[in-house]
Amino acid sequence: MRCGPTRTAPYPTFATHPEAREIVFDFLSDYDDPSLLGAFWVTVQLTFLSAVGSLIWGTLLAAMRVSPVPLMRGFGAAYVNIVRNIPLTVIIVFTSLGLADIFGVALGAPDDFEVKYFRLAVLGLVAYTAAFVCEAIRSGINTVPVGQAEAARAIGLSFSQVLRLIVLPQAFRSVIGPLANVLIALTKNTTVAATIGVAEAALLMKEMIENEAQVLLIGAIFAFGFIVLTLPTGLFLGWLSKRLAVKR
Amino acid sequence: MTEVSVAKEDRAANGELVVLKSVNKHFGALHVLQDIDLTIARGEVVVVIGPSGSGKSTLCRTINRLETIDSGSITIDGKPLPAEGKALARLRADVGMVFQSFNLFAHKTVLENVMLGQIKVRKVDKAKAEEKARKLLDRVGVASQADKYPAQLSGGQQQRVAIARALAMDPKVMLFDEPTSALDPEMINEVLEVMQQLARDGMTMIVVTHEMGFARSAANRVVFMADGRIVEEAVPDQFFSNPRSDRAKDFLSKILHH
């Protein structure tokens, strides 16, 4: 039931004044190389490639850390403890100023700077994120009861078979949640690639902030963009983790 | 303390399958296995009993090198136990093991549990492995559970699957490490029956257990351990009715007459 006169909004809103939307978001059309979507697409590519790479490298590191060979265990432990304690910015800057400029690493694209720095950024992100993936997986390995590995050895499986067929599949299922955290952190960490000039979302944001007046709006747009990327990932992996949980 | 050896000539005739010679093992300061000498003949069923902490389980686990030993030697079918690597894996495939806590692979179905070793170790093709797995599951009475996951089965069913998984490798000898200790009383018999059937079929078995009924009915020989030593070996009737050592008398007086 409505009492009194119908209220109208005292101030113009997007609903009452459609042209306001145009005025506020107008500046976006000035950016087309890269466009907002284009920049986020680079972010997605950085995230995806780094995620795949760090999952592989992190799994290998975890295998080293639980292997019976002391040299491998030592290498795995040293790698993780060094790399995860270095700021990502330092690592990413090193890929550019160190690897590329001093050691001449070009990753197959010496002349195409865009491709070269994109690849260097992926390399840096993989090197860094793998340390966290390794530790997540290692904690997963520790959740697998020792009897599982014993039973596997008892039927004659080799060390690598025990790991590949019995321990890791169970370990992965128990660390989907923690790995989702790592993936979300990685998605946001791709913004560090801006420091070496990769044209992803954060670089575009910096450019917009320098040139435009709507600083709060720009911040909100990019924050929203990252939430659109990470929120569904987190929800999906949370669901997957429940679905694939090993029942004991 | 007296050591009684029984029917030596019978065993020699069948051939020695598992031979332990002066085996020693320490867990830190604890001397858990002390100069163990034990010979198991082909087709023999040996039951190892004794109080908790006497080293029975450790003894069982050294035979497929899930526990390493400090000194002495273990040979299986004439071959010394390899230290590690491929040779050890091959040997383990020939030695079936059943654990107290079943240890079925939790992320695989019952059928996959029984097929895995055949495919990955014996390199049997998938169809043959499945056929054999189903046959074995039928033999231990859980054929209808083939597509379930271990957590969906009762303890007794899980342990019977574990026996089928070990049998799928065609082992020369089966080790049972307290196979019924984690089971509800009503499920113990279904597992013991499978084991008794195995014994009747001529499988060589080393069974660590507290089931004296099984020892009486299925064992060729009882090995009594205490404090890391084999205190007494005898045929079951003799051991249970007329134990020689004081330690065994004391042990039996505590567990029988219930």
Per-residue pLDDT tens over the stretch B202-231 = 999 999 999 898 999 899 999 999 999 999
Q: Which helix (H) or strand (E) holds B140?
A: none
Question: Mean pLDDT over residues A78-93, rounded?
Answer: 96
| Beta pairing class for B221-226 and B229-234 | antiparallel
Residues 54-83 in A contacting B (C-alpha not used; CB under 8 Å): 68
C-alpha span between A202 and B166 (Å, rounded): 58
Report the amino acid identity of residue B163: I
Ranges in chain B, pLDDT < 70: 1-14, 256-258
pLDDT tens digits, residue range A29-76? 778 777 889 899 999 999 999 999 999 999 999 999 998 899 999 999
Q: Do A170 and B116 touch (CB under 8 A)?
A: no
Rounded to the nearest integer, the mean pLDDT of chain A is: 89
Q: Which helix (H) or strand (E) holds A129?
A: helix A113-143
Q: Which helix (H) or strand (E) holds B244?
A: none
- Categorize the per-residue pLDDT at A8 as very low, low, confident or very high, splitting at 50, 70 and 90: low
Cis preceding linkage at A34, omega within 30: yes
Q: Do A246 and B86 touch (CB under 8 A)?
A: no
A247 min Cα distance to partner chain B (Å):
6
* Contact residues on chain B for A151, CB-CB shorter than 8 A: 97, 99, 103-105, 162, 165
Could you say which of A158, A165, A248 has the minimum Cβ distance to residue B106?
A248
Q: Do A247 and B103 touch (CB under 8 A)?
A: no
* Contact residues on chain B for A158, CB-CB shorter than 8 A: 86, 89
Q: Tell me, what's the pLDDT at A5?
A: 53
Q: Tell me the pTM.
A: 0.81
A67 min Cα distance to partner chain B (Å):
13
Answer whether residue A195 shows pLDDT above 50.
yes
Report the amino acid identity of residue B209: T
Could you say which of B84, B107, B165 has the minimum Cβ distance to residue A155?
B165
Query: From the centroid of its chain, how far is CA B166?
Result: 11
Report the amino acid identity of residue B143: A
Q: Do B105 and A173 touch (CB under 8 A)?
A: no
Q: Tell me, what's the pLDDT at B5?
A: 47
Q: What angle do CA B166, B203, B168 make, to 5 degrees?
A: 25
Secondary structure E strands in chain B: 16-27, 30-41, 45-49, 71-76, 79-80, 95-98, 173-177, 204-208, 221-226, 229-234
Could you say which of B64, B120, B149 has the minimum Cβ distance to residue A161?
B120
Answer whether residue A10 shows pLDDT above 70.
no
* Contact residues on chain A for B105, CB-CB shorter than 8 A: 148, 151-152, 166
Evaluate whether B158 touches B101 at the Cβ level (below 8 Å). no
C-alpha span between A242 and A103 (Å, rounded): 46
pLDDT tens digits, residue range A96-109? 998 888 888 888 87
pLDDT tens digits, residue range B107-119? 999 999 999 999 9
Residues in chain B whose Cβ is within 8 Å of chain A: 64, 66, 84, 86, 89-97, 99, 101, 103-107, 116-117, 120-121, 149, 151-152, 162, 165-166, 169
Residue B95's contacts (CB-CB under 8 Å, 6 or more residues apart) are: A154, B63, B64, B76, B171, B172, B173, B174, B175
Task: Provide, rounded to the nearest whole percent, the portion of chain A with pLDDT above 70.
Answer: 93
Query: From the centroid of its chain, how far is CA B36?
Result: 17
Question: Mean pLDDT over residues A199-209, rounded?
Answer: 90
Backbone angles phi and psi of A155, in degrees to 5: -90, 5
ipTM value: 0.87
C-alpha torsion sign, points A61, A77, A101, A129: positive
Q: Tell me, what's the pLDDT at A86?
A: 96
Answer whether residue A11 shows pLDDT above 50.
yes
Answer whether residue A22 shows pLDDT above 80.
no
- For residue B60, CA distances in Å to B55, B64, B85, B111 come to 9, 8, 20, 27
